Amino acid sequence: MNKAASGLPKEEREELLQYYDEYLTSALLEGKSEEEIRQEIGSPTQIAGAFIEASSEEEIEKKSL
């Protein structure tokens, strides 16, 4: 995930990594397999891409206000 999120600012990258670390820990404690979790949230590249896209859209919205 860290490599996939390398295009993000440091603060956002750390926030994203912390969120998914907590998510994975919780899901594993619930008894989900790594494969089940991967199917739910996608690959690290997909997660980082979605986060970058959402961040870009948010920036565009802020500038248009």
The reported pTM is 0.62
Angle at 33 between CA 31 and CA 37, to 5 degrees: 105
pLDDT at 55 over 70: yes
**Domain boundaries of the chain, sorted by first residue:** 10-64
Whole-angstrom distance, CA of residue 41 vs CA of residue 21: 12
Whole-angstrom distance, CA of residue 22 vs CA of residue 47: 15
pLDDT tens profile 13-54: 888 888 888 999 999 999 999 899 989 888 878 887 887 787
Whole-angstrom distance, CA of residue 7 vs CA of residue 2: 10
